Each structure stands twice: as structure tokens, then as C-alpha cells.
Amino acid sequence: MKELNINIKDLKLKPENLAELIDLLAKEKITSRIAKDLLKEMVQSDRDCDPSELIKEKGLNQISGESQTQEIIKKIIAQNTKIVESYKSGKIQAIEALIGQVMKETQGRANPKIIKEMIIKIINGEL
């Protein structure tokens, strides 16, 4: 609103659409990054914006298929052997770099919690 220099009274954002967006985020159907992008679009739009319709329209649904995510993670691990070695040598925060690479590859559509669990399992040979 500040960026657009508009008053709250001028918003075309309906409370039920905002509630739906929050619900989608709470149920982890979208990531926080996607929620921020959707909220910005909903505020800027001149039309009634249903978050579910925007997600379908833009193909922003969260990637949750394990096989799809697993392939991306394996590729990222193979491309970042130094980071993997740092993690194995005890630098736990190094895993954040791998998570960031997966999020970049999936355009923010993967669930970071699931990614972290899968990365650890793959590095430990459990997957």
C-alpha cells in the first residue's frame, strides 16, 4: 500500500481472499515466498483476486512430490560437493546453502522443511 501510495479504504482486496491466502499458507499448500508474491499481486490488481485461481493461473502450486523433489535435490548435491563436505565436517549451517539452491531451482515452490529433511537423508545415504 505504501509503495502504491493508496489508503486501506482504496484496497480492492476482499477479506475472504486474504483469509484464503493465509489459510493456504497455514496448510503449507504454498510457501511464504509465493504468499508474499500473491499478496502483492492481489493488492496491486484492479480485479477481484482469488488466491486459488491466481495459483492455478500462474502455476505456483507447491511442489510436494517426493520423486520430483528428490531428483532436483540430487542434482543440487552433485553440483555442490564442497558445501556437502562442509556439512559432513560439522558445519550444519551449510545445509542452508543447499536449501537455497533447491528453492532457486524450484522457483520457491518447494517446501523448505521437506527439502531440508530430504537433503539430510540423501547425504546420509538414507534415500
pLDDT digits (tens, 9 = 90+) for 87-115: 999 999 999 999 999 999 988 888 888 89
- pLDDT surpassing 70 at residue 11: yes
- pLDDT surpassing 90 at residue 41: no
pLDDT digits (tens, 9 = 90+) for 70-90: 989 999 999 999 999 999 999
CA-to-CA dists, residue 43 to 53, 102, 108, angstroms: 15, 29, 20
Q: How would you class 88 by CB atoms within 10 Å of its CB: exposed for 0-12, middle for 13-18, buried for 19 or more?
A: exposed
- Domains contained in the chain, CATH given: 8-58 (no CATH), 66-123 (1.10.10.410)
pTM recorded for the entire structure? 0.67
- What's the DSSP call for residue 61? P
DSSP letters along 38-60, please? HHHHHHH-SS---HHHHHHHHT-
